[in-house]
Amino acid sequence: MPNTLPGFVDYVRKNPGKVNYGATAVGAYNHLDMLMLSKVAGLKMEPVVTPTVASAATSLLNGDMQVILMTAQATIPLLQDGKIRALAVTGDKRLAALPNVPTMTEAGYPGIGSNVWQGLYAPAGTPKVVVDKIFQAMTKVLAVKSVQDALSSQGFVQQPSTSPEDFAAFMKKDMAKWALVIREHKLDN
């Protein structure tokens, strides 16, 4: 299997239908990302759906699939052990934990891939003063250098929202992007 994303794409084009990719569920981020890459690059691959990230990693190592998009947190130990190789990261920037791995954009596929993000939520109707207080506390925690270093070493990229409203707008935009992919591939049935 090639060592670069362009090499992998070329290999799949020359071997249509012979490469399987992993998906932790139909409609999971790694499934949707591979659908996007397949469309843009003109690839014919089949998904192998596994119930968990651990089972996906096992399937990759066993050769049941040849490629999968997984979080940096799941892949870094496998990369460090030399069990897998990274072709690209889906974020806007290279990861500090994987500085030699190009982004999808650098590899020739801009706009492909998701950024797995996490948010902090409160029940609907929580008073704004409480939401703002929680937001301010999280902002302080994420500004601590030791917290930033710990997250970075595990492959997390911090891009904190500037406000709860900013996070809500980001979520809305992200959900709209993926809704289009889901409808286009008729996964909403």
**Which of 49, 37, 47, 46 lies closest to 9, judged by CA?**
37
| Residue appearing with tokens 């992007």 | 177
Is the pLDDT at 115 greater than 80? The verdict is no
5-116: CATH class: alpha beta
Query: Where in the chain are the domains?
Result: 5-116
Which residues have a Cβ under 8 Å from the Cβ of 10 and sit 6 or more positions away?
A: 2
pLDDT at 113: 80
Model confidence at 127, pLDDT cuts 50, 70, 90, reads very high
Given CA atoms 135, 136, 141, 144 in this order, what sign does their dihedral have?
A: positive
Q: Which two tokens stand for residue 56?
A: 């996906």
Residue 187 pLDDT level (bands cut at 50, 70, 90): confident
Choice between 96 and 45, residue whose per-residue pLDDT is larger: 45
Strand order in the sheet with 46-49: 46-49, 20-23, 67-68
**For range 11-20, the mean pLDDT:** 95
User: What's the pLDDT score for residue 9?
Assistant: 97
